[in-house]
Structure 1
Amino acid sequence: MTEFNTPPFDNILITGAAGALGSVLRESLRPYARTLTLSDRASLGERRDNEVHFERDLADRDAVFEMMKGVDVVIHLGGAPRENTFQVILDSNIVGSYNIFEAARQCGVKRVVYASSVHAIGFYECTQTIDANVPQRPDSLYGLSKTFVENLSRYYFDKFGLESVCVRIGSCFPKPVDRRMLATWLSYEDFSRLCIRTLMTPSVGHMIVYGNSDNSANFWDNTEAGYLGYRPQDSADTFAAEVYANTPSPDPRHPAVKYQGGSFAADGHFEDPKAN
């Protein structure tokens, strides 16, 4: 565990702190701030010594401004975590993220780290290797919301100088469970390492990086992350034999196999009537 004589930050805000990734950062970022401000619509459980809790909806502008006071940096994980209706995506991911960036600007926050997603570029084929500068190709309404916030963060940097790092997370789970994840997997430990580097790097401007571990199979040229000093230490290769033994050989022509977004790219429009 990292120890500091004095924590480098007075106050770190983590939105979506009750979720799996928020819970990971709740532990790993504890030494980095005198105060961890945690936000989620769900219960955050027992409050620990250096924590402040806000059980709020990010679409509530006044609530977001209230919890942003005194914050140095934000790790913005909050929002709808998967595909949904446009109204849910609009309120949770688009309006909520606008409130985060506008409150950050007005409250003098130095940096926002945003949990973007592979689904912002999900319609690139798995045979392609892409970097962080390719045009966005969202595979869903969820992915579309991620592209919006990536562009929102660019706007806030260009116009107001609010620094940001957008992390296009691949598949962040305890271990990979299918063949696609052998390329997209990001371990919880590497997720923490990457987030810590997004906070501790002195100057980031506006960046987009990919969030994955040191996997032999890989869709992404993640050169940009090297600037942050991110060096993944885990690899999906450890689980490759298990994954291959437990999953059938896929049809490479199926959209879920062909495209980097997997099942999100293969699914129909969420709001269309579902077949019985």
Structure 2
Amino acid sequence: MEKPLKTHHRLLLTGAAGGLGTALRTRLQGNCDVLRLSDLADVGVAQAGEEVMLADLSNADEVNAMVAGCDAIVHLGGISVEAPFAAILQANILGAVHLYEAARLHGVKRIVFASSNHVTGFYKQSETINADHPARPDGFYGLSKAFGEDLARLYFDRHGIETACVRIGSSFPEPKDRRMLATWLSFDDLHRLITACLSTPVLGHSIIFGMSDNAVTWWDNSRARHVGYVPKDTSDVFREAVYARTSAPDLNDPAAIYQGGGFVKAGPF
């Protein structure tokens, strides 16, 4: 893998105990002098060049302390699956407000916000959309991420805080099913995308689809060329194996009709 580009002195990574946080932990160390790790769950012992500061995103005081002294933020924290609204409200909506307000108070001017493809989950898999298409969330989780994108725009317009809203597709070691042939984002490409967002001279408020260089895709990333993200991995190398172990989709199933997959019929309502 290429040598990381150092972009900041102290970088905050929220959601550091999660799957993507764990995958990025060592990768992001090369982007900064000090990587501050935060989560509600235990992230383990701080290694060289790391700090650990656990925080509950629903607690404004804890979030304020978590952000203090940081130069930029990679915000992966919160609930990453469909859940009852009360839980989503605390972690993803109030948590995002607390994070942006803390960033304003402490002069943080650049954030990479982990949005989601579920912001647009009710577009069909037969469509190709770009960042200008209106949100069509497929549940409370997607709704919370749409709120986060609007919140980020407000704090950019009012306070000049630049944000990359990265609509992460499916970031795993390899695609699990046929849907992920379109949505897959390798861990290395995720790191390349975050590095581009942290280092581009002018970020503004940008919505970027988080995907690798997949032949099949529903998302047009041309609105984000100014960021300089160039994916180097592709789901295509897994296509034969995915087809061999999966059956053809039922085209009457909403999970096969809509881009959000199973999320369009998941959850408590």
Tell me the TM-score normalised to structure 2 length: 0.97
Q: Distance in 2 between matches of 1:139 and 1:233?
A: 29
Alignment gaps of 5+ in structure 2: none
3-state SS of paired residue (1:186):
coil
- Contact between 1:59 and 1:95, CA under 8 Å: does it hold in 2? yes
AA aligned to 1:23 is T
- Contact between 2:55 and 2:66, CA under 8 Å: does it hold in 1? no
Q: Distance in 2 between matches of 1:66 and 1:3?
A: 28
Q: Distance in 1 between matches of 2:55 and 2:155?
A: 24
Q: Distance in 2 between matches of 1:238 and 1:130?
A: 24
Pairing 1:144–2:138 present: no
Aligned to 1:105: 104
Q: Distance in 2 between matches of 1:105 and 1:135?
A: 27
AA aligned to 1:144 is L
Q: Distance in 2 between matches of 1:184 and 1:84?
A: 22
Q: Distance in 2 between matches of 1:46 and 1:68?
A: 19
CA RMSD of aligned residues (A): 1.1
Aligned to 2:19: 20
How much has 1:50 moved relative to structure 2? 1.2
Aligned to 2:3: 2
Q: Distance in 2 between matches of 1:248 and 1:26?
A: 35
Q: Distance in 2 between matches of 1:142 and 1:258?
A: 19
Q: Distance in 1 between matches of 2:18 and 2:160?
A: 30
Deviations 1:91-134 (A, max 9, x none): 01001111000000110001111000010000000000000110
Q: How does 1:54-69 map to 2 (within 5 A)?
A: 54-69=53-68
How much has 1:225 moved relative to structure 2? 2.9
Aligned to 1:243: 242
Deviations 1:164-204 (A, max 9, x none): 01000010011001111000000011001000100010111
Aligned to 1:43: 42
Q: Distance in 1 between matches of 2:230 and 2:4?
A: 20
How much has 1:224 moved relative to structure 2? 2.4
Deviations 1:62-98 (A, max 9, x none): 0111111111100000001101111100001001111
Pairing 1:31–2:27 present: no
Pairing 1:271–2:268 present: yes
How much has 1:3 moved relative to structure 2? 6.2
Q: How does 1:120-131 map to 2 (within 5 A)?
A: 120-131=119-130
Percentage identity across paired residues of the two chains: 48
Size of the alignment, in residue pairs? 268
3-state SS of paired residue (1:27):
helix
- Contact between 1:170 and 1:186, CA under 8 Å: does it hold in 2? yes
- Contact between 2:14 and 2:75, CA under 8 Å: does it hold in 1? yes
Aligned to 2:187: 188
AA aligned to 1:207 is S
Tell me the TM-score normalised to structure 1 length: 0.95
- Contact between 2:24 and 2:187, CA under 8 Å: does it hold in 1? no
3-state SS of paired residue (2:166):
strand
3-state SS of paired residue (1:172):
coil
3-state SS of paired residue (1:251):
coil
Deviations 1:245-271 (A, max 9, x none): 10111112210000000001133xx33
Q: Distance in 1 between matches of 2:194 and 2:8?
A: 14
How much has 1:8 moved relative to structure 2? 3.3
Pairing 1:219–2:218 present: yes
AA aligned to 2:46 is R
Aligned to 1:260: 259
AA aligned to 1:151 is D
Deviations 1:216-262 (A, max 9, x none): 11001111232211111111110000111101111122100000000
Q: Distance in 1 between matches of 2:23 and 2:263?
A: 25
